[in-house]
Amino acid sequence: MEKAIEILKKNNYKVTKQRTDLISYLKNFTIHYVAINDIVNYMRNLYPGMSNNTIYRNLKEFADIGLVEYQEKNKTLVKYQCDFEHRHHHHFVCKNCGRVTELKACPIEFFTDQLPGYTVEGHAIEVYGLCADCTKKLEKKEA
């Protein structure tokens, strides 16, 4: 929470009760994405008068300053930033349990080497499959 507050202040955002409550909720989702609708429901239960626009705006601002990450495949899912020191990173996402694992390496040079003369302006990589736990469960089930 301290790091998130520091990032809010550094980016000239007010540290409000609503924002800290939103961050506290999002901190539960560092290894799984959560649907924005679930976030909206949670915040509307805490603050019945809070508009959807306010919640969406805060999530977008949080993404802009690196507090949350949107799932590349499905922009209606977000998770709390897993690595504040390295905002640029990629993920493995388990198709069974939804677990998100940070990938440390970035293969962008592999792709840019194949694009001489092109200007790459950004990229995002998510790898999908089964995590080790789900793979083990599947193997046991098939045995």
* Global pTM value: 0.76
Helix residue ranges, H only, 52-131: 52-64, 108-112
Q: CA 87, 93, 97, 101 torsion: positive or negative?
A: negative
What domains lie within the chain, and their CATH numbers?
A: 2-80 (1.10.10.10), 90-142 (3.30.1490.190)
Please check if 106 is assigned to a binding site. Answer: no
Please check if 94 is assigned to a binding site. Answer: yes
Please check if 123 is assigned to a binding site. Answer: yes
Residue 89: band (very low, low, confident or very high) from pLDDT cuts 50, 70, 90: confident
What's the pLDDT tens digit per position in 3-38? 899 999 999 999 999 999 999 999 999 889 999 999
Please check if 89 is assigned to a binding site. Answer: no
Q: How far apart are CA 121 and CA 77, in angstroms?
A: 23
